[in-house]
Amino acid sequence: MSKFNKIAVIGKYPSFEEVGDFHSQLIQLVGHLSNKNVELIIEEKTQQQINLDQFKSLPLKDIGPQVDVAIIVGGDGTMLGVARSLVDSQIPLIGVNRGRFGFLADLNINTMFANIDMILDGDYIRDDRMLIDTRIIRSDKVIYKSQSLNDVVIKSGLKLIELEVTIDDRFVHTQRSDGIIVSTPTGTTAYALSAGGPILHPNLDAISIVPINPHTLSNRPIAVSGNSKIVIKIIHIDEAYASIDGQIKFPLDLRDRIEIQKAKQSISILHPNNYCYFEMLRNKLNWG
């Protein structure tokens, strides 16, 4: 008997090359779940791909209040977008990896049935992940706000950007660089990792701040308390933008102040009971 009575299935939008294989795997998953004593809801765009009209469908924004858990088939990018969309409903997520890395969507497509069955039977680890709130303030008005599961990136265009960073109203430094990454522990295995930042275990209540190609070699990544309020002020730019989880871009100008702090909400990811974060890192990063 499943511990979850109402289950959503959400798939990424595949590229042309992977359509047939991806659709086949989604249809198999829906067929497997339909044999259980559960109610299935297929995300609207996913249902349009696989043409299973016998199941109820809803737009992604409406799914949260209707289900107990969401199964996402795709890569980490799909997980990030779904997580932001469903954060207010607080439903847990199960990620099946169809992408390259699978730090978030960590279930293997070849063993997904056994692992999903284990989770649905209640044999799982609940992994709560921090989100961060970002507000962009221009002339004392909030002109944009969003949440991130991975990171907020302030990035220059063609030339270096000059930024001033304060933490809890205390001046830290100014820096000239290609930009700066403010990351949750989840996001430290994403862009922050390629920029030389540390890997923070997801259980840590911390935020990392990583410069991108700083002009001064002594400028290093730092990690601060998750309760910190980080403010980044634009000192000089020719062109720059703020990127939310690598999926949303917002153009910046010289008047802008970016305020970042831990969100009140969190996201829960469910793993099978044999999941080990360090084993995942070894496999994904090819550690010995």
Tokens of 247: 């999926």
Q: Which residues are catalytic?
A: 76
Pairing of strands 161-167, 230-236: antiparallel
176 close to 214: Cβ distance less than 8 angstroms: yes
- Residue 93 host element (H or E): strand 93-97
54 close to 81: Cβ distance less than 8 angstroms: no
Q: What's the half-sphere exposure (Cβ side, CA atoms, 13 Å) at 117?
A: 9
Pairing of strands 222-225, 151-156: unpaired
Q: State the helix-helix crossing angle for 112-120 and 19-34, rounded to 10 degrees.
A: 40
Q: CA-to-CA distance for 183 and 129, rounded, in angstroms?
A: 12
Tokens of 170: 């205390």
Tokens of 165: 């960073």
